């Protein structure tokens, strides 16, 4: 590896990394405003030579560390928000706020980035350039990265140009301990929501011929959407359309006026993303018309595709046995995509299954019983610091 001592240095910070992680875990916050979490970060890093930037849209902040000489600029990003779900881990430091849990590992992400800032501050005399530490709320569907970009915290009129590269890391509790994974090109999918309202004319359930029943039309739309995906789109450029909710009716003997379908769209290219939107409009309207009803389709765009720059996926930097190439993208979504639409870079995964256990049996992210092996966190801290140092020294070479 380029900096072989980084992991040892990160391990020496393990107690502090774990303590910050546990403090954040115990007080999870949701959405774009995570003031308690941000205050914990600022307190943990108060002794470091950092200049802080704040925006107006979120409580997210960017800390800037400058080397001894001018040079490249690199960004390291971590997310801070939790999920609206009850925790069932039984941990001593479990959530103290009912109905909230750090079930996606953002508490570990934040603590690892704080640890990386410690490592890099100790090496300020060795690097040229600037390192930006992006502490971002609102990743869980709230578009926090987009808001921080729009606030100009990553670069713009107030703070000069955008960084030259950006890197992020996400833990995976059901992946091998201490092993990193990723791939060049599409890593994670774009995620959009759809809402289809099928409008008919209700009446008595014993007299369906006197109504225009929206329920059979809604059911037909569900199956037609699946056929649309398999017959119009190349399986090698994955498209997923999943209906997750169907609402209709109020009683067993009433045909309703309308039925509603809701669900998610996942795509791996901008081309397919646009094509799916258009195709869904046509399918829903056509099937509805065949049943003598109408359909209104609303699509709400979510995160774009997370595309990793092939120059940023330098697998030799991880060391022997510490890297696994993902054979295919993951159809989950990630709002770091907003950053690497603007700045070349990459995102990686870190396995945090408990060492010695069968990682295939571990609870995954968004499980109320999800736990991590904290002894893996120094690996993530060292990797983030290593990405920054490697880029500042070599660029994408």
Domain ranges of the chain: 6-189+305-394, 190-300
Comparing C-alpha atoms, which of 112, 85, 82, 96 is closest to residue 6?
A: 112
Q: How far apart are CA 177 and CA 357, in angstroms?
A: 9
Instruction: Please answer whether residues 18 and 115 qualify as being in contact, where contact means their C-beta atoms are separated by less than 8 angstroms.
Output: no
Q: How far apart are CA 332 and CA 238, in angstroms?
A: 12
* pLDDT attached to residue 148: 97
Token representation of residue 60: 């997210």
* pLDDT attached to residue 4: 64
Q: How far apart are CA 110 and CA 205, in angstroms?
A: 56
Please classify residue 47 by burial: count the beta carbons closer than 10 Å to its beta carbon, then call 0-12 exposed, 13-18 middle and 19+ buried.
Answer: exposed
* CATH superfamily of the 6-189+305-394 domain: Zn peptidases (3.40.630.10)
Half-sphere exposure of 376 (CA within 13 A, CB side): 27
The helix (run of H) or strand (run of E) holding residue 228 is: helix 214-232
Q: How far apart are CA 71 and CA 132, in angstroms?
A: 13
Q: How far apart are CA 141 and CA 162, in angstroms?
A: 24
Token representation of residue 76: 């390291």
Please classify residue 250 by burial: count the beta carbons closer than 10 Å to its beta carbon, then call 0-12 exposed, 13-18 middle and 19+ buried.
Answer: exposed
Q: Do strands 165-172 and 69-79 pair parallel, antiparallel, or not at all (unpaired)?
A: parallel
* pLDDT attached to residue 319: 67
Token representation of residue 116: 């990386």
Q: How far apart are CA 47 and CA 328, in angstroms?
A: 42
* pLDDT attached to residue 357: 84
Instruction: Please answer whether residues 38 and 136 qualify as being in contact, where contact means their C-beta atoms are separated by less than 8 angstroms.
Output: no
Instruction: Please answer whether residues 189 and 267 qualify as being in contact, where contact means their C-beta atoms are separated by less than 8 angstroms.
Output: yes
* pLDDT attached to residue 316: 62
Q: Do strands 294-300 and 180-182 pair parallel, antiparallel, or not at all (unpaired)?
A: unpaired
Rg of the chain over Cα atoms, rounded to whole angstroms, equals 24
* pLDDT attached to residue 1: 42
Kindly report the backbone phi and psi dihedral angles of residue 17, in degrees, each rounded to the nearest multiple of 5, phi listed first: -60, -45
Kindly report the backbone phi and psi dihedral angles of residue 245, in degrees, each rounded to the nearest multiple of 5, phi listed first: -155, 135
Q: How far apart are CA 378 and CA 380, in angstroms?
A: 5
Cα angle at 50 between 47 and 51, to 5 degrees? Answer: 135
Instruction: Please answer whether residues 182 and 348 qualify as being in contact, where contact means their C-beta atoms are separated by less than 8 angstroms.
Output: yes
Residues of the chain with pLDDT under 50: 1-2
- Identify any residues that bridge with 298 across adjacent strands, giving them in sequence order: 195
Neighbour count for residue 394 (Cβ, 10 Å): 12
CATH no. for 190-300? 3.30.70.360
Q: Could you tell me which residues come within 8 angstroms of residue 120 by beta carbon, excluding any fewer than 6 positions away?
A: 65, 127, 131, 385, 388, 389
């Amino acid at each position: 590896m380029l900096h072989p001592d980084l992991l040892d240095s990160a391990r020496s910070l393990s107690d502090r990394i774990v303590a910050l992680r546990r403090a954040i875990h115990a007080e999870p916050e949701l959405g774009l405003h995570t003031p308690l979490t941000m205050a914990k970060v600022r307190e943990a890093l108060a002794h470091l030579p950092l200049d802080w930037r704040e925006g107006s849209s979120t409580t997210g902040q960017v800390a800037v560390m400058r080397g001894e000489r001018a040079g490249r600029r690199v960004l390291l990003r971590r997310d801070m928000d939790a999920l609206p779900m009850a925790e069932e881990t039984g941990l001593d430091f479990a959530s103290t706020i009912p109905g909230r849990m750090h079930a996606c590992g953002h508490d570990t992400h934040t603590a690892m980035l704080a640890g990386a800032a410690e490592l890099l501050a100790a090496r300020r005399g060795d690097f040229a350039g600037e390192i930006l530490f992006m502490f971002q709320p609102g990743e869980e569907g709230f578009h926090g990265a987009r808001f921080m970009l729009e606030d100009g915290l990553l670069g713009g009129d107030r703070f000069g140009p955008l960084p030259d590269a950006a890197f992020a890391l996400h833990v995976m509790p059901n992946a091998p301990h201490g092993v990193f994974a990723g791939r060049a090109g599409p890593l994670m999918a774009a995620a959009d929501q759809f809402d289809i309202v099928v409008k008919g004319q209700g009446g008595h359930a014993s007299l369906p011929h006197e109504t225009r029943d929206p329920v059979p039309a809604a059911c037909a739309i569900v199956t037609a959407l699946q056929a649309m995906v398999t017959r119009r789109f190349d399986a090698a450029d994955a498209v997923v359309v999943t209906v997750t909710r169907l609402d209709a009716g109020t009683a067993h003997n009433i045909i309703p006026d309308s039925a509603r379908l809701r669900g998610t769209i996942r795509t791996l290219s901008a081309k397919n993303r646009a094509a799916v939107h258009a195709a869904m409009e046509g399918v829903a309207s056509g099937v509805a018309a065949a049943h003598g009803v109408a359909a209104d389709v609303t699509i709400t765009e979510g995160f774009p595709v997370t595309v990793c720059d092939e120059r940023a996926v330098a697998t030799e930097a991880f060391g022997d046995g510490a890297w696994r190439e993902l054979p295919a993208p993951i159809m989950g979504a990630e709002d770091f995509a907003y950053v690497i639409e603007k700045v070349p870079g990459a995102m990686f995964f870190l396995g945090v299954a408990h060492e010695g256990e069968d990682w295939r049996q571990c609870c995954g992210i968004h499980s109320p019983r999800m736990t991590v092996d904290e002894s893996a966190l120094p690996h993530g801290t060292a990797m983030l610091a290593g990405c920054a140092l490697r880029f500042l020294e070599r660029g994408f070479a």
